Amino acid sequence: MSGSQTQQSNITIRHFQPSDEAAFRRLNEAWIAHYFKIEPEDEHVLNHPQFSILDPGGKILFAVAGNEHVGCVALIRIADREFEVAKMTVTPLYRGAGIGRMLLSAAIDTARSAGATRLYIETNHTLGPAIHLYESLGFKRIDPARLAPSPYARANVFMEMFLV
């Protein structure tokens, strides 16, 4: 068994629990600050995940290795039966082991179970491996001209997936 398979076999995907706020913030601040800068909308979402994501009907999933949070993804409700896939990351030590694919697949399944018909993603062209992952699971690029402006200055690639 390869190291990647070993890492992946030790991972559990689970839903947000009340004690997960700090891990959600830590995981996301690390990747955002590494590639970009923390923006006001990041602060709002990361400081208040219960209020900004969960209370309006969204979901947060974690990849956990033992007691360590090694990745996460959020489904932010943006309309009736539509979610934005957001705040997805895997810690550097666990990247390349298929955990991002596990998280995104679990998010898609969770959205389907919640009755969603469409998923939406905002990302940046510099995040090539993430874009490749999204496309490999069925997301298609959207012309930005047909969208409302993003609250994120870094967002310059927009994608969607229909679940029907």
pLDDT, one tens digit per residue, over 59-73 is 999 999 999 999 999
Closest alpha carbon to 4 in 99, 72, 70? 99
Q: What is the pLDDT of residue 8?
A: 62
CA–CA separation, 160 and 33 (whole Å): 25
Structural domains in the chain plus CATH codes: 3-121 (3.40.630.30)
Q: What is the pLDDT of residue 164?
A: 84
Q: What is the pLDDT of residue 7?
A: 56
Torsion, Cα 102 107 112 116, to 10 degrees, reads -150
Q: In 10 A of CB 3, how many CB atoms?
A: 9
Q: Does residue 96 come out as left (phi exceeding 0), alpha (psi in the -120 to 50 range) or beta?
A: left
Task: Report the chain's terminal Cα–Cα distance, integer Å.
Answer: 37
Q: Is the pTM of this model over 0.85?
A: yes
The tokens of 142 are what? 């959207």
Whether 2 has a pLDDT exceeding 90, the answer reads no
Half-sphere exposure of 133 (CA within 13 A, CB side): 22
